[in-house]
Amino acid sequence: MNNIIDKISFKSNYLKNITFLFSGTIIGKIILIIGTPVLSRLFTPEDFGILGVFTALLGFLTIYATLRYTRAILLPKHLEFSAALFWLSTYALLFTTVTITIVIAFAKQSIVNVLNTPQLETLIFLIIPAMFLAGLYDILEYWSAKNSNYKELSISHISRNSGTLVSQVSLGFAGFGPGGLIIGLIVGKFLSATILFYQVVKNQFDLFKKSAKTKYLFYVAKRYKNFPVYSLPSNLMSKGSGSAVPILFSALFSPHVAGLYWFTRRLISIATDSLGKSVRQVFAQEASSLVNQKKNVYQLYLKNTLGLTALGVLPVLIITLFAPPLFEIVFGVEWREAGILAQWMVVMGFVEFISHPSTELIYILNYQKWQFYFQIVVSFFRIGSILYGSFIGDYYLAIVLLSLSVIILYLGQIIFIGIKSKNFDISDEKR
């Protein structure tokens, strides 16, 4: 009887947490969806191409910023060790911010020339506050998930997206060009990080004061060394190859092509990230809890993966069939070409969407070394697809090859992690 009650309670809390997080995320994404037709008429594909290159660099640097110790915050049984990981991530972020500032100060012109984006020359320094705020939010987000503060996370998602949109639209009407898109992005990150930071300082100051001791920091740095040793390089390759896509399109084709790709990718991510990230964060917390209790996570993994699959099939089918005319009507005639790209890219985004639980289990079940080699293969095919398309002189072919390679590889990851989670022996795991 008690087991039945525990299961009901677990399911109830799990669904409640997803609902809290999803509601905030979906409201924020709805705000972006409503605003996108306005932005598409205030800014050109070239403007979005510059933003795409900027966010690609930002995404790459954000991973490096905390040495991926943020991903370990969810894992310890004892909250003091999670707080120590919070401190360790923060120190890494401060060091990285100083390092990147120095690099940009001395290599600004070279970076702009390589990227084929002269418009970034006066905007490149904005990567520094953007990276710091993105890294800080990443730390605060995982800490909040560890403590099941899903209401605060939900509010932060709404604040980030609404702040970003209002700022971008306002600056667009003022004629700021790509700078308006970038500044708006930073404003949204500042608002969301501020909300979570206030909650942490208000509620858990004493815990953080205690966990800042050197012995805690050295312990967690050694205990979770696989994150900087294996997860960091594999994530850098994963995000790096993903971030390299708009950069390569800009450098090898044009900022216009980069803008078409990034705009389409952004629209797909608005839809997939809404539920996918919410499920991923709650799944990671619940799966970590099950492993800490020496319980198998396969059933939880299977239900989440199949559930995400069922949710995504119909929207993917609609976009695959009708994207070009839909893009033209909603975003303007000049964006019809992006709709053609979306017919392939939406399937790629769908497979990435349903792979969220498998990606989290890689960290929880300690398969970081496998992920490192997997991401080498992913990076090879991502970059190779674009280079081959450039050699042929056909960016559409590059996107088709890119999409197919990601679809096949991530389906392989889903199957592999499913098999491993079913047979995983957690009896020897130390948390």
Mention every residue, 6+ apart, whose C-beta is less than 8 A from residue 245.
Answer: 56, 261, 265, 382, 386, 402
Express each pLDDT in 305-321 by its tens digit: 898 888 889 989 999 99
Q: What DSSP assignment string belongs to 275-304?
A: HHHHHHHHHHHHHHHHHHTT---HHHHHHH
Express each pLDDT in 263-306 by its tens digit: 999 888 877 776 666 677 778 778 888 887 778 888 888 888 89
How buried is residue 39: exposed, middle or buried, by Cβ count under 10 Å (0-12/13-18/19+)? buried
C-beta of residue 167 within 8 angstroms of C-beta of residue 184: yes
> d(Cα 260, Cα 46) in Å, to the nearest integer?
8
Token pair of 255 as six digits:
């900022």
Residue 75's pLDDT band (boundaries 50, 70, 90)?
confident
C-beta of residue 296 within 8 angstroms of C-beta of residue 290: yes
> d(Cα 79, Cα 84) in Å, to the nearest integer?
9
> What percentage of the chain carries pLDDT values higher than 70?
91
Residue 154's pLDDT band (boundaries 50, 70, 90)?
confident
Residue 415's pLDDT band (boundaries 50, 70, 90)?
very high
C-beta of residue 353 within 8 angstroms of C-beta of residue 278: no
